[in-house]
Chain A
Amino acid sequence: MGGFLLRKAGAALIVVFCSSVVVFVGVRALPGDPAVALSGENRDPAVLAAVREKYGLDQPLPVQYVKWVGRAVRGDLGVDSRDLPVAHTIVTRIPITLELALLSVALGMLIGITSGVIAAVRRGKAEDHAATTFALVGLSLPHFWLGLMMIILFAVDLHWLPSSGYVSFGQHPIQNLEHMVMPAIVLGTGLSAVLMRQMRSSMLASLGADYVRTARAKGLTEASVIGKHALRNSLITVTTVVGLQLGALISGAVITEQIFVIPGFGRLTLEAINQRDYTLLQGVVLVAATGYVVVNLLVDVIYSLLNPRIRVTGAAP
């Protein structure tokens, strides 16, 4: 297991490093003169020159890159166009998106995994058809439209939930959840649809496996056969899928935060792009990529813990 994780960690580091290069180059490729944007659209050449010097824009690219990485590693991501430290802005916004993400993942896994198991066990029957249809609908719905529809129904028509905004958990837990319910459902739906299909397929494979036949032949109860023997192996397969879906989750968070006006990390990304705030954008995208890599590494750890073939190296070939 150690070897497996070490290799994955190594690969992750390389990916983060390459991502930083891509981010750096990508941001520089955006149209417009960064100096102009950073100086608040002031085109006075003297001011521009001063801005360039302040931000080190006059130096050769590789030098700029090295300086940036050097500072980033120490937690300094520079200051944005309003002279606010980027790192600080990011740090304040991340917990909000994290809460949204956690709620969505919890919801998605709960619904997706249970419905997938039920669909597999009752294959071909009413429950299976219902669950499969549900999943198909969930996959085909544009989630931002779902968000809009929910706003219309629950906020505008019924006035049950607020249509936008955010209240932190510390301040007011109930209101916080009221604001998060719809966004979490919106994001969770897509994830649950993918998980349901994956889980169903996995469970069908497990249920058809020889070891399940053995379990039945041993006289174990159906609950034990399904819940212990089949489920365990299916969960192992599904773990990898969850990791891959996190990228889609972050994409979804960007739009969801936009629609529900939640001041999270996703919204920050859009603001940075729209305002052509390069320093902010660099920092944001780097953090996003690193975060994704780290989370996938965690998923790899969980996977290796669940799968005995990785956890314990075999004695026989």
Chain B
Amino acid sequence: MSVLEVQDLSVRFDTDDGQVHAVDRLSFSLGEREVLGVVGESGCGKSVSFMSLLRLLPETAVVEGRAEFDGVDLLRAPASRLRRIRGRDIAFVFQEPMTSLNPAFKVGNQIGEVLRRHLGLSRGEARRRTIELLELVRIPAPERRVDEYPHQLSGGMRQRVMIAMALACDPKILIADEPTTALDVTIQAGILDLMRDIRERLGTAIVLITHNLGVVADVADRVIVMYAGRKAEEAPVHELFAQPQHPYTNGLLGAVPRPGVAGVRGRLREIPGRVPSLASLPQGCAFAPRCPRADDRTRSEVPELREVRPEHLVACFHPGPDA
């Protein structure tokens, strides 16, 4: 049972320097209670795709496609309907906890807002529920924290507050954009534990956007790999790590430091070259300029997604794990 169906999502920005194609015909579905990992380098369009679902992009963005949730096409729903879905049925946790909270209001106020707006709770009830939520995300001394301002909390705690705010109305989908990137490694582990916990206890479907493969391996059920605004590969998590098909995925895995593998003195394999500018994509496969398997066909034709193994899609003319 899929809770979200996205078809041919495309996002384009009209800028002074021309058109930038941030996302190109992305399609996927998200199942109930599923944790979907979305992986790719910075600028590959992963954040933009999901922000476009809730129409959080600036006015210069042109969004096409279809995103079906609960019988509604998110991209075309009237603003009032969308506002009732935002924060209540689909919640977003942003990347920068430092700046994503309003410095002028207490933390409890900002969480309580969501409860009062969507669930109609009174101030007293909202406060009690807020404290419960803070406990849920494992913030110590929640009765005290409720009355504090964002600048009084550490980065890790602010991120937890953001998560609490997102979970306030028990959403069906939680989209977490790089939830651990701005945090120390030790804090990261705690947040990931929390994510697992949330899925177990609350049954929320989670989309985890990250550039960190380690995070994905830890928590996700299924993974989508994006490159230059397009989906390069999609597979269940174990399958992806065991049998990576796309050369980009292979490159990413090769670049992950793993003690013991390839010898302790082995050099990390990098992917040569740089991510192309989204304003001027190459003609054929977007990855061709950097791909060790590139040939004339890949340089002139854009590969479409094909299922090469059960439940395993890849957009490549020469799929297969590296030797």
Question: Which residues of A are at the interface with B, using a C-beta cutoff of 8 A?
Answer: 209-211, 213-221, 224, 229, 232-233, 236, 306-309, 312, 314-316
Contacts and interface: CB of A to CB of B under 8 A. Distances in A.
Interface in B114-173: 114, 117-118, 148-149, 151-154, 162, 165
Nearest to A211: B102
A125 to B, nearest CB: 11
B99 A210 contact: yes
A203 to B, nearest CB: 14
Contacts of B86: 216-219
Interface stretch (B1-9, B87-95, B235-243): B87-95
Nearest to B165: A218
A222 to B, nearest CB: 8
Contact of B103 (A216, A309, A315): A309
B54 interface: yes
A239 to B, nearest CB: 13
Contacts of B162: 214
13 contacts: A210-B99, A214-B94, A214-B100, A214-B102, A218-B86, A218-B87, A219-B84, A219-B114, A220-B87, A224-B117, A229-B104, A308-B104, A308-B151
B117 A217 contact: no
B83 A211 contact: no
Query: Secondary structure at chain A's binding surface: helix, strand, loop or mixed?
Result: helix
A217 B56 contact: yes
Given A209-B99, A211-B99, A316 B104 contact: no
A218 B103 contact: no
A307 B100 CA distance: 17
A210 B104 contact: no
B123 to A, nearest CB: 15
Given A210-B99, A211-B100, A229-B102, A217 B94 contact: yes
Given A219-B83, A219-B84, A213 B56 contact: yes
Given A209-B99, A210-B100, A213-B100, A220 B83 contact: yes
B101 interface: yes
Nearest to A210: B99
B70 to A, nearest CB: 14
Contacts of A232: 102, 104-105
A309 B54 CA distance: 32
A307 B114 CA distance: 23
| Nearest 4 interchain pairs by C-beta | A219-B87, A219-B86, A218-B87, A210-B99
B96 interface: yes
Given A308-B106, A314-B151, 13 more contacts: A210-B96, A211-B102, A213-B100, A216-B56, A217-B87, A218-B86, A218-B87, A219-B83, A219-B88, A229-B102, A307-B104, A316-B152, A316-B153
B101 to A, nearest CB: 6
B46 to A, nearest CB: 16
